[in-house]
Structure 1
Amino acid sequence: MRYLKFVILFIVMCFPVLTMTVKGGANTCIYSLLLLSLVYFVFQRKQDAFSFSYLLKRYWPMHLAMAGMIFAILANQISTSNFFLKTYDTPSRLAFFLPITWLLLQISASDLKLFQWGLVAGAVGSAIKIEWIGLSQSSMPGIIDFMNRIPYGDVSLMLGILSLLSIGWNRRGDKLSVAIKIIGGISGIYASYLSEARGGWIALPILAFVILSMLNKTKLNHRFAIFAIALILMVSTYGFNKIIQDRVHAAASDITKFVDGENQDTSVGIRFQLWRGSWVLFKEHPVFGVGREEFYPDALQDLAKRHVITQQATDFGHSHNEFFYNMATLGIFGLLAILAIFFVPGYYFLQATRHSDRDIKTAGRMGLTLCLGFLIFGLTEAIFFMPAICAFFSMSVAVCFAFVVKRKEALASS
């Protein structure tokens, strides 16, 4: 295991930056960890406290939640007797949480802390990449290299916030590490700004408020002061930045045109149409949904024929909303699955934020922020539509969760 540990930790450190900078990087990392977990399962010489069966029994709600989308798809396909193996490909990365977490539990909590430097590298790498693309092209493309700009901006923002939260793992006087993590935080936020992903910007003040509310050892008036300063900075940034102003004004104009019936095919207007159409599909197929394969283009074309949405809105492969998309395609099972993905891990991480140990608190805050952040991102984008994003979320939750479990074990044994 000694040599295997170095490979695992290398992957844990590299996957955030590879997710943002290399096509197929996230998928390579998650499949590598899956393969390593199978190798270790076969060749392990002894069973420790975290045997695979123990992990499955002890934390079965977590594993069921992360695999919930697989079961929702299976329920839909059983109901229609149409089976498509390809449909399971993307959500399978979420279900890999179980073997990957088990593998990570074979190494120490102190080693898992190396994840923090992967977060910083990922945030800085995403900023460098989008800055280079912005400088080398006359206009920002809808696709940043191999990733849509919306999930790119969202994940960049998350990497920046997690870099800042990981400061909780530092000890007093460690000024250089704190400075590096602050650079990572600024880089992630800057990359999100350059992506012009408005959904991520909506999440920023909400996450700032939630994170400050978790700082229970900080005096209440100090928390209010920090939040007020952050709010002033965000308002000032809006007031003096033309890109942000233009994006916000464009959204307001799109909403006005949609409500007045002047133009429904604006960027925001198409989203509203897809949400409305998805709601119609859910009401017509509330239990199992229309199916992932039938949503685009068949179900959307049918909605256009019925004048529920315009023809232009049928060009999109998902609902631009994680909840509506799962409701429309997988019915009530899809809704329960996506809620479980956010709220079940969120519950475990919330419990960790109340622990007396600082390191466990920090990992809990990072995990809870992951769940809340992706939930908010899912309001304006089908965030798990891309395999790479599923892989990133699954591995990040696995690292934070494994750290909490291992750290608790270390405290109990000492």
Structure 2
Amino acid sequence: MASCSKLQKNCIMLLQNILARHSWDYWLLGLLIFFYPTGVWLVSSGGSSVFNILGIGGLVSLLIIKKWPCNRSESLVILSLLLYLCVTFLSWWVNGMEDGSYKLLRRHLLFMLAAFGAVWLCWRRPSAGFFWWGVVAGSILMGLVGCYFFYLGGSFRANIHHLTQVNPIVFGQFSVALFALTSASFAYFYRLKPWTVIFPASGMLLSLVSAIGSQTRGAWLALPFVILIAAWHHRKSLLKHYIALSTAFLLFLILFFTFSGWKIIENRFITGTQGVGAYLKGEDESIDPSVRTRLDMWKAAFEAGKSSIVIGPGKDEFREAARAGVERGAYIRHASQHHFPHSEYATAFGYHGITGLIALFLVFFIPGYVFWKRCRGSVDPEAQGLAVAGLMTVVCFAIFSLTDSPFEQRPTIMFYSVMLLLPLTINSLSRHTNRENYCEGYG
């Protein structure tokens, strides 16, 4: 009994020490952020609305009485995310509170959660180590899962869907995004120990294999741009460590041909070009209808957006336009079977008109500009790495949005928001004594 009482006292003292590190409002905001998605996702529509009002009201009240901890650039990025949420709310309000727009609004409320999470991070200012280790671990895990799917044989995309219940498009987008973020982590790992760069290098190789296997067009389109940004960021180091670079490239080729990566790219390219050719000739596409389906959905979104070009007709109008086009023979029948146009740009215009398109542009442009300025204004490799990571997140999702609608799905909304706000708010300056030698050694 005495030992149990002593253990209880030690636990209480430990909890008190942890709580004493920050003020009560810090912990209250953290709890609200933690419980907020639970209320949005799990309860019914009516209960979710009440929870949203209470949660948002409580968070706003807390921020009013507490000094705003974010600097100008952080505030701009947070406001850019909230802008897209505001446009969704305005469209839902103007267009008669239709059910489809309300469901989209509930998803976009995750931008509100991310915004308050950013404020919380600005109070906490966590170190960069948590971010970089998490990114590298995620890329290695995604890569190993992808290699396992290749090992099972059969369709890679079917294996993703049956074994993980994850959309193969989302899987490919996450793989490319983690590949991009991992490529910016070498400065941090080189500071720890030069040999630890094997971890981000392994993550890049493995996640690249998964990205190719996913057969996601948007992910493949983003890869060349990501590689160019990474090469520009590491241009000095690549010249110094060309042997390691050659070895990594050789390992990638081995993995690439071992898992028949070239056949996947070749088949996807052939079916894609055949689909475009059939569409231009006005022929029915029977082998792979995905190309024509997307093109017809984009046309339907454009027709829907034209009907209310300023604020947009809302989400339900898109499906009506697609269904009408199928009935009159203008669109392929698959175009009316999807809930969104599979392009965030077409989605923004088709749902919210010109206002939505401008808001989406600002969602990408403002964070991209902030990270670009930080990247150009810093001489420290670690600080540059964080800025490059944020910039790559913006570039990836801007390109993903060409062939998919990432902000129609909760996982991609949260991934974009978190991976955008973490590099923006965490402490980039590490505490080590020989910073000058480290900067010179890394290049």
- Secondary structure of the residue aligned to 2:132 is helix
Is 1:207 matched up with 2:229? no
What aligned pairs does 1:116-155 form with structure 2 within 5 A after superposition?
116-133=132-149, 135-136=151-152, 138-139=154-155, 140-141=157-158, 143=161, 145-155=164-174
Separation in 2, partners of 1:56, 1:303: 49
What aligned pairs does 1:10-409 form with structure 2 within 5 A after superposition?
52-55=67-70, 59-82=74-97, 84=99, 85-110=102-127, 112-133=128-149, 135-136=151-152, 138-139=154-155, 140-141=157-158, 143=161, 145-172=164-191, 174-215=193-234, 241-264=262-285, 266-296=289-319, 298-354=320-376, 355-403=378-426, 406-407=427-428
Larger radius of gyration: 2
- Output the TM-score relative to the length of structure 2: 0.73
**Looking at both structures, which has the greater relative contact order when contacts are Cα pairs under 8 Å and sequence separation is at least 6?**
1
Separation in 2, partners of 1:81, 1:68: 20
Separation in 1, partners of 2:175, 2:232: 23
Asked whether the equivalents of residues 158 and 370 of structure 1 are also in contact (C-alpha less than 8 Å), the reply is yes
Asked whether the equivalents of residues 78 and 118 of structure 2 are also in contact (C-alpha less than 8 Å), the reply is no
1:197-239, CA deviations, whole angstroms, 9 ceiling, x for partnerless residues?
A: 132112111221233334575699999xx89x97xx89x9699
More displaced stretch, 280-289 vs 322-331: 280-289
Structure 1 residues 56 and 2, CA gap change in structure 2 (3 angstroms): farther
Corresponding residue number in structure 2 for 1:13: none
Asked whether the equivalents of residues 288 and 330 of structure 1 are also in contact (C-alpha less than 8 Å), the reply is yes
Asked whether the equivalents of residues 274 and 313 of structure 1 are also in contact (C-alpha less than 8 Å), the reply is yes
Structure 1 residues 244 and 409, CA gap change in structure 2 (3 angstroms): closer
Asked whether the equivalents of residues 90 and 387 of structure 1 are also in contact (C-alpha less than 8 Å), the reply is yes
**Aligned letter for 1:67?**
L
- Secondary structure of the residue aligned to 1:291 is coil
Could you tell me how far 1:311 is from its partner in structure 2? 2.4
Structure 1 residues 222 and 308, CA gap change in structure 2 (3 angstroms): farther
Structure 1 residues 222 and 132, CA gap change in structure 2 (3 angstroms): closer
Could you tell me how far 1:91 is from its partner in structure 2? 1.2
**Aligned letter for 2:396?**
G
Structure 1 residues 65 and 240, CA gap change in structure 2 (3 angstroms): closer
Separation in 1, partners of 2:331, 2:381: 51
Structure 1 residues 82 and 56, CA gap change in structure 2 (3 angstroms): farther
Asked whether the equivalents of residues 157 and 189 of structure 1 are also in contact (C-alpha less than 8 Å), the reply is yes
Asked whether the equivalents of residues 119 and 159 of structure 1 are also in contact (C-alpha less than 8 Å), the reply is yes
**Aligned letter for 1:381?**
D
User: How many residue pairs are counted as aligned between the two chains?
Assistant: 376
- Secondary structure of the residue aligned to 1:55 is coil
Structure 1 residues 342 and 175, CA gap change in structure 2 (3 angstroms): same
Asked whether the equivalents of residues 96 and 394 of structure 1 are also in contact (C-alpha less than 8 Å), the reply is no
Separation in 2, partners of 1:216, 1:133: 34
Structure 1 residues 274 and 107, CA gap change in structure 2 (3 angstroms): same
Asked whether the equivalents of residues 52 and 102 of structure 1 are also in contact (C-alpha less than 8 Å), the reply is no
Could you tell me how far 1:151 is from its partner in structure 2? 1.7
**Aligned letter for 2:405?**
A
Separation in 2, partners of 1:378, 1:168: 30
1:292-313, CA deviations, whole angstroms, 9 ceiling, x for partnerless residues?
A: 24433x3321232344423221
Structure 1 residues 174 and 219, CA gap change in structure 2 (3 angstroms): closer
Structure 1 residues 175 and 57, CA gap change in structure 2 (3 angstroms): closer
- Gaps in structure 2 of 5+ consecutive residues: 1-15, 27-37, 43-50, 432-443
Asked whether the equivalents of residues 172 and 215 of structure 2 are also in contact (C-alpha less than 8 Å), the reply is yes
Separation in 1, partners of 2:219, 2:104: 27
Separation in 1, partners of 2:225, 2:72: 35
Structure 1 residues 213 and 154, CA gap change in structure 2 (3 angstroms): same
Could you tell me how far 1:133 is from its partner in structure 2? 4.5
- Output the TM-score relative to the length of structure 1: 0.78
Separation in 2, partners of 1:395, 1:262: 44
- Secondary structure of the residue aligned to 2:340 is coil
Aligned-residue sequence identity (percent) comes to 21
Asked whether the equivalents of residues 294 and 342 of structure 2 are also in contact (C-alpha less than 8 Å), the reply is yes
Structure 1 residues 360 and 256, CA gap change in structure 2 (3 angstroms): same
